[in-house]
Structure 1
Amino acid sequence: MSQSLLLRCAGRPVGRYLFRPDLAPRLSPRPYLHPLTTLGGLRVTEEMPGDHLHHLGAGVAVPDVAGRNFWGGRTYVRGQGSTELDNHGIQRHTGWKLRDPDGFVEELAWTAEAGELLREHRTVAATPLGTDAWALDFTFSLTNTTGGALSIGSPATNGRPGAGYGGFFWRAPKETGRPAVFTADADGEDAVHGHRADWLALAGDGWTLVFAGANGETRKDPWFVRTEEYPGVGSSLAWDERVEMAAGETLVRRILTVVADGRLGRDAAAALVRKAVGA
């Protein structure tokens, strides 16, 4: 049976965190946030949709950690394409360092058949930004615990151009129309997918999500964006090159996501990002 906790922002419920979900091995079991909502109550995450059963709300998922799949579904194999493999890893919740109504600090172990590959320190907090918006502050630190070198990849690094997904990922709900997507100086999936920008907005029917890198390292990661096939945004760790980690090395990323009621324009989105980063 799944175990979860309620996430609140200034006393108001805005989401649920499943820290011990009951999932099939093929989904690469991992903790995730779902549902997340605006302050007005609109749901802005999707869980196990029919188009991609392994899309699980908002969280961290990586398709290739030393050849193990922590994303779920099929694995892209160079020269073969997407292939069903028995190589799915698990992100195991191992304990809390802090657990408050508006956030938590968690320890996780990323394990596969050979044992632990990564140890994660995860910090999540909900911060109010006014009556119509709040921010999800999500930091994850991954440490290589194998005792040797380890590399992180993606379908793109394994031969599928443009599919550099893996890292923080947010699956939004599919609606009748496609959501708008834009940055400070570009509009549309083709213009923002695979590009670097300080922030990126996804605007749907009555809601807007604005993703921002909260430190210099995160802003270097390209954005992975889908609006036509499905609505989803991620910050890519291995867009076109594998990330090599020495024994004991730690990789840190922090993403701020503004969750707002209403379909915001560029100026309003940018203003909320400035407020969230300064909060």
Structure 2
Amino acid sequence: MTSPATTLASSTKLSYSDDGAALTFTAGGQQIASYTYNPTDAQYESPRPYFHPLTTLGGDEVTIFRPWDHVWHKGLSLALPNVGNDNFWCGATYTRATEYADLNNNGAMAHKAFSSISDGVAGITAAEELQWSSQDGDPVIAEKRRFNIQLLDVPGARAWALLFETEISNISPAPISIGSPTTEGRENAGYGGLFWRGPRSFTGGQFRSAAGTGTDEFMGSRSEWLAFTGRHDQSCHASTITFVEDSANLGAPNQWFARSSMFACLGSSPFFSEAVLLQAGDPLTYRYAVVISDGEVDQESAELLVGAAKAALGAWV
């Protein structure tokens, strides 16, 4: 354990660089995150900014990019499949009328500008403006996005947090119903939100929440936080990724889209089983903390990480 005078956050320097397509973040000279804000993906994959790779402070990578089974899974990203008539997730869209079908409705989330990037005591914060447009180029949503990279001082842990905030505003001519395949009739397929896909080796890993541990039974569950622990090939290390939802989010605690046996994934899903109407002049805001830590967690260490993440969210204004 580090002493108060030499805590992780005070002894390790965070920095970033920008190459015109991605922001890269380092801790003590080691890359821990990359945020691609100008992607080159095909329209069919609903181009959008994404975080990949994300890496523990120990150097283990906890994201996968464009896996062959779901090429639209790109590290950690905000993605929504049923936004009115548009799809900001990937190729085929699920509706009651068509089930899964290619509807030529794959929109894109386009980066417009970083309004600010600041480096302070509580890490590095980027504020970004984006426009979501339909496949035909019609404006649908204006988004104000912020994210923060900071180190966490938690006894016995090596961890950092990615704080994420999105405010989405309707700029289309009509109200927009935001839902999921489940709101369209497909059971237990309520994906859509801030979504993470883990490495292949994480398949079969373990979820943990305040209610205990398990695997696929966490699909559709509600809790203020949910952690996933997996193991890496080659190093055989364990890593844990923990999602913490801001209690001020609409509908909180919202449902989680959580899988272990098919592949490792976890996502906040505020539109899992009930559609939400986005009206002009009435934006929706959602905030999360995603904690990336070396090693496994037990209930006590998980709750310490969650407590630190909540404190970071509360202080991030």
TM-score range, shorter chain: over 0.9
SS at match of 1:277: helix
Indicate whether 1:94 and 2:112 are aligned. Answer: yes
SS at match of 1:20: coil
CA gap 1:240/1:217 in 2 versus in 1, 3 angstroms: same
Equivalenced residues, count: 279
Match of 2:5 in 1: none
Match of 2:71 in 1: 53
Instruction: Decide which moves more: 188-197 or 222-231.
Output: 188-197
| Distance across 2 between alignment mates of 1:111 and 1:31 | 14
* Equivalent residue in structure 2 for 1:165, among 191, 195, 200: 191
Match of 1:103 in 2: 125
Deviation string 1:103-132 (CA, Å, 9 cap, x unpaired) is 311000000125111111111111111361
Measure how far apart 1:8 and its partner are: 3.4
Report the residue type matching 2:264 in the other structure.
Answer: P
Match of 1:260 in 2: 293
Indicate whether 1:115 and 2:123 are aligned. Answer: no
Measure how far apart 1:85 and its partner are: 2.3
Instruction: Confirm or deny: 8 A CA contact 2:205 2:215 kept in the other structure.
Output: no
* Equivalent residue in structure 2 for 1:247, among 245, 259, 280: 280
What TM-score, normalized to structure 1? Answer: 0.94
SS at match of 1:7: strand
| Distance across 2 between alignment mates of 1:167 and 1:185 | 23
Instruction: Decide which moves more: 180-189 or 90-99.
Output: 180-189
Percent identity over the alignment is: 36
Indicate whether 1:23 and 2:41 are aligned. Answer: yes
Deviation string 1:52-96 (CA, Å, 9 cap, x unpaired) is 000011110000111111001211122432212211000000001
Instruction: Confirm or deny: 8 A CA contact 1:169 1:232 kept in the other structure.
Output: yes
Match of 1:223 in 2: 256
Match of 2:246 in 1: 214
Runs of 4+ in 1 over 6 A off after TM superposition: none
RMSD: 1.8
Instruction: Confirm or deny: 8 A CA contact 1:9 1:127 kept in the other structure.
Output: no
Report the residue type matching 1:30 in the other structure.
Answer: R
Report the residue type matching 2:284 in the other structure.
Answer: L
Report the residue type matching 1:184 in the other structure.
Answer: A
Match of 1:125 in 2: 148
* Equivalent residue in structure 2 for 1:4, among 22, 44, 47: 22
Measure how far apart 1:266 and its partner are: 1.9
Instruction: Confirm or deny: 8 A CA contact 1:165 1:236 kept in the other structure.
Output: yes
Measure how far apart 1:12 and its partner are: 4.6
Unpaired stretches in structure 2, ≥5 consecutive residues: 1-18, 232-237, 313-317
Indicate whether 1:192 and 2:225 are aligned. Answer: no
Unpaired stretches in structure 1, ≥5 consecutive residues: none
SS at match of 2:200: coil
CA gap 1:65/1:264 in 2 versus in 1, 3 angstroms: same
Indicate whether 1:77 and 2:95 are aligned. Answer: yes
Match of 1:144 in 2: 170
| Distance across 2 between alignment mates of 1:20 and 1:203 | 30
SS at match of 2:201: coil
